[in-house]
Chains A and B, each alone.
Chain A
């Protein structure tokens, strides 16, 4: 098979052999980073409806290792043996493919719909190339299968999807005794946009603006993952100056989001003054961003083959921001009530965090060391990277890990600054690109972002698969809550996870 020109090793396998291959890679220390289904049209006018191709991207590192398992299925009888029994996250990817591609799962223990709500029409699979126009939505005839917890004194509290604050839509159903949460079901997927399909047919350069808007607070993380995937697919090597700017933008994005979270967690325990001050620091950072890329959320800084910056911050500015943040953190940690509210709340155990496959600060606060900057460094920049690790798994750990990551980010930025150059740094993409495919892995502020792109022989995107770390992390929230968390602590626990709804629901 010479159809692909890529650096990543591809292993073709059969549905029957998939499970053994997968388990072998898992036990070798690989992690499932992404699963993408593809509906390929028949080649050169052959009859039929084409084939379904499922790609499992397995990664490990350091050194940066990426393997792809490819499985082909006939479209009319797309039966996929489920891996849900060996990998929780694989089971979630499978349900996503079932909803969007009509792949039937064999042996899945929880084969219900995931991405598409019950009112989406049956038998219409929006990601198939011959899906056609969208049929009318029906009424929600099947109700959603919430688990009913029964027993004396158990009652349910439904919250959302419309909330009192300005947050994204999600429905949470609490089964409660008194104030203690027995079980929570998070029903998400209210914001399905079909963004993966929107990429199809665009030029590689034209995909950046979409990538920046996958999750508004992760413009750099997603656009960089996209660009890295494009560069791997086309064999483009960006200039080192561009890679340095990209690394800086990535840390600036981490900085403004982590600062916001610190204060928001304070706000959720009624400590508004911390929120007021972190919002002030955030505003300062956003204005800095605006100077650097012309956009407060850092859009426009990263594009295929390069990066640009119109201004660079002073080292003294970064040091001042660092001190400012630490003043607020010290002020918060001096308050016994704040410490009491954070400590021991919503504990995610290391075992649960590992089983679920969590990423980012959620994993690192629960004793799992994962960081794509170390495992899949996109440039030779991270020798002095420190990856903080805590084992508490509670709200306090998720607070402290953010503080430690802010320090690490500022240290990196300070290290990068003397070598950084303003302006545009770009290696133009080869005009005759494709066909090809590539995977981009980036440590966004929430965790490892994975993009996999395929480019057709006409140089246009044929498939872009996006995985935000929220897709892995969301299931950890109900697990952390169940058992001993009380209802009024939910907003705080949720804020300490702060997962993306838009990045999760593509």
Chain B
């Protein structure tokens, strides 16, 4: 584990944390402008975090240790994934653990802890949100697994660095059928896991329709700030993962500062484009009836399954 590798990992975390709230602010701005509103400034999520961090920490007497631990687990797992995923360079210090399974389950760890925290306070809304989140996760998870299989087949490894390097070496695989199918499947999962339309409404104010917001209703102050930041980080991490797994060009294969700078610019552009696409699409779609969400996720599973099948036949 080289010093420069550690530096790359730390740089990735710092960059993700710096960018995530701004990206969310940008998505809200795009949506507002397309709806004909002025919308809050792009820096608003950062201001909200600063405001929340300055508040007193209030915890309900009816909660247990899960409730207090969950924000830390969420932010830690999201930050760890930000360090692992090859955003800037394929030569990260954590490349040995940079396995796609590890990354996906680190993200799921956060989901599970959030659901447990929702249950912990014992309120009806928390339980309702947790139940819905678990339903969605339970259907999304097989999709993720199968999509990973499809990606691993062509590169012969589930190591993220290896998959990215393999795609860089054989650019044609990026446009292969299995790759496109897996991309589509993972994109749906990304939408579901980050609580975007048409699965969840990030700007919902109606208690009874919420999923993510229902689970964090009991949080306030610094705890809420951590959860909000973790949600922003997860969005960036998912988008970055999607971007670099399927369109890795621009990523540095060395750890030279100049290359890293170029890689940072490349990944920022890719994430911003993806985020802008989501923001624009969200304007024109409505939230699905809750019972229709499994249908959407089942479709994504079919796509992932097709990806695996194709990769075996075309390999």
Contact = CB atoms under 8 A, between A and B. Distances in A.
A164 B286 contact: no
Contacts of B285: 270-271, 335, 337
A489 B288 CA distance: 10
B206 to A, nearest CB: 4
A277 B125 CA distance: 31
A273 B34 contact: yes
Nearest to A336: B286
B265 to A, nearest CB: 32
A165 B206 contact: yes
Nearest to B36: A276
Given A156-B124, A277-B36, A337-B198, A164 B205 contact: yes
A122 B201 CA distance: 46
Contact of B286 (A270, A488, A489): A270
Given A158-B124, A164-B205, A165-B206, A486 B35 contact: no
A276 B37 contact: yes
Contacts of A335: 284-286
A338 interface: yes
A340 interface: yes
Contacts of B286: 266, 269-271, 335, 337-338, 341
A131 interface: no
A178 to B, nearest CB: 8
B198 A487 contact: no
Interface string A271-309: 111001100100000000000000000000000000000
A337 B296 CA distance: 12
Interface in A209-235: none
Interface size class of A (residues with CB under 8 A): 20 to 34
B231 interface: no
A157 interface: yes
B296 to A, nearest CB: 11
Of B124, B285, B286, B287, the most chain A CB neighbours within 10 A belong to B286
A159 interface: yes
A270 B289 contact: no
Nearest to B199: A270
Interface string B107-145: 000000000000000001100100000000000000000
A120 interface: no
A221 B205 CA distance: 30
Nearest to A179: B290
Contacts of A269: 286-287
A340 B35 contact: no
A155 B124 CA distance: 9
Contact of A273 (B204, B283, B288, B289): B283
Interface in A463-485: none
Given A157-B128, A335-B286, A341-B289, A272 B208 contact: no
Contacts of B31: 272
A276 to B, nearest CB: 4
Nearest to B287: A270
Interface residues of B, number: 28
A179 B204 contact: no
Contacts of B35: 272-273, 276-277
B207 A159 contact: yes
A167 to B, nearest CB: 10
Interface in A328-343: 335, 337-338, 340-341
Given A271-B286, A337-B285, A491 B124 contact: no
Of B197, B203, B284, B289, the most chain A CB neighbours within 10 A belong to B289
A189 interface: no
A193 interface: no
A268 B289 contact: no
Given A335-B286, A340-B292, A487-B128, A270 B208 contact: no
A326 interface: no
B287 to A, nearest CB: 3
Nearest to B211: A488
A163 interface: yes
A280 B34 CA distance: 14
Contact of A157 (B203, B208, B284, B288): B208
A490 interface: yes
A179 to B, nearest CB: 6
13 contacts: A155-B124, A157-B124, A159-B208, A266-B286, A270-B201, A270-B287, A272-B283, A273-B284, A276-B37, A337-B287, A341-B287, A486-B289, A488-B289
The 3 closest A-B pairs by CB, nearest first: A270-B287, A276-B35, A271-B286
Given A179-B290, A486-B291, 14 more contacts: A157-B125, A157-B208, A158-B124, A164-B205, A268-B209, A270-B285, A270-B286, A272-B35, A273-B35, A276-B35, A335-B284, A337-B287, A488-B208, A488-B289
